[in-house]
A and B are shown apart, each in its own frame.
Chain A
Amino acid sequence: MKKKRSQLEVIHDMLSSVQAKGGRIKPTHLMYKSNLSYKMMQEYLATLLERGLLAEEKDKDNKKIYTITDKGLTFLFEYRRMTEFTEAFGL
């Protein structure tokens, strides 16, 4: 059986999904692409928005879309190092 993804892995999967979509994504697409339930996605979205890794905007139809921020891109760039640091020290 597959183990649960770590918090860092979930954040990485969400940000990678946004980046793969050209830096902007609709909430439903984000949910499917990052393989999360609606409830889990809402929880993680709140965290990502609060930490400035994603930003919320409105499209021309006044619907919510999420864009990746510079901090979010830095996270993706640093992700490998961060996971290796985490695994090396058993955090």
Chain B
Amino acid sequence: MALILGIEGSCDETAAAVLSGETTVLSSVVASQLSVHGKYGGVVPELASREHLRSIVPVVREAMQRAAVTFDDLDAIAVTSGPGLAGALLVGLTYAKGIAFSTGKPLITVNHIEGHIHAVVLEARQKGTPVEFPALAMIVSGGHTHMFAASAAGSYQLLGKTRDDAAGEAFDKVGKLLGFGYPGGPVIDKLAPYGNPKAVKFTIAKMKSNPLDFSFSGLKTAVLRWSQANAVDEEVRVRKALLKTDPSPALEQWLAVTPQRTLDVLASFQHTVIEEILNHAEMAAEGLEGIRSIIISGGVACNAGLRLAAAKAGLGVPVHFPSPGLSTDNAVMIAAAAVPKFDRGIFAGMEAAAQPNLTLAN
């Protein structure tokens, strides 16, 4: 059973995890969720090297301690090499190289997007319902909206991606412009069941040249236009004031400051995004011969409305979601994506570079 330390630091989060074999998670630490994080500057997004530098040592140490293992016990060190922010990636990569060099253990570089896919593969195995291939893999998050055909774990073909905004970005921007703070995705998900999803008709343009591409920019703009036409300034002001007194208001507090028409818009907006995601999944699945499952991963996979709609959509094959903790950026997924590489002896050298534009497949 290989023991792998995974390190993730591609954008906002520094994370470390220890994985034993294919499915036994010995520890998973994410900097922003670490109680000691206060000491290191609170939950400021870790935009660049400086912030990651501050977190990486305590985060890796915490992961090793919780797993009760030492560097010498490890079989390999896995780290995200891209895509992401150059400065952020460099910190994780350099630190991982340092551990690999000093312990003589192999280094494995992992694509962040492949990590998201493996979060699902790992959990499906844990549940005893493994992902069967060929599969359709969708990554929907704040930074990515990508759809791949996976003939096997590790073999991907890009089917479509966003031409402008990522799905999670659309949620977060709509949340912000309506005064729900940033990122607003989780709040919209909570409030959407209280609105009428058919109240406002939003349309999304079909993509020329590749119908499997996505576009969410126009939808975001449509919500902006709605807010301008409906004089929402006063309610937005009230919600912003609420956020100042309480950075994470409870559902009842949000409902008290959100009129029905705005709940209807949130519900309609969320409904439109979900429909777009699931329509694309259906369209892509029809084109994949012998498809046996669908993977939906990334931060937007946390969306309860999406999970519910996917279950009801009758897509014909099992749809696998990660648990909320493994939907957003984490290091378990990086260690998990490294397992097949470890088994096949695909290791990186000390010259491995951070690749901000790394793609999974073209």
- Asked if chains A and B come from one complex, the reply is no
